[in-house]
Amino acid sequence: MRTFLYFVLFMFLAAVIILLAVLLGDLGAWYFAWLIGTVLIVLVAAAGAALLDTQEDQAAAAAAAATDPLT
């Protein structure tokens, strides 16, 4: 039953996408590029923030280890 529901969901999405492609016509490629570009820049920004956070955590851990007299 789950597979059938996925099939129905994906068929509905395909129908919506085809309808949008017909309605948008020549502007469809521009909207697609805008959507992909927006998603890509959000993902790049999130990855950069995660890397910066990791670097700050490692720097704080290194500073704490350097000042700890027990190590």
* Domain extent listing, the chain: 2-66
**How does pLDDT run across 4-44, given as a tens digit for each residue?**
999 999 999 999 988 988 888 888 788 888 989 999 999 99
At a CB cut-off of 8 Å and minimum separation 6, what does 71 contact?
Answer: 65
- Say how many CA atoms lie within 13 Å of 39 toward its Cβ: 6
Q: Are 20 and 28 contacting, i.e. CB atoms less than 8 angstroms apart?
A: yes
pTM (two decimals): 0.57
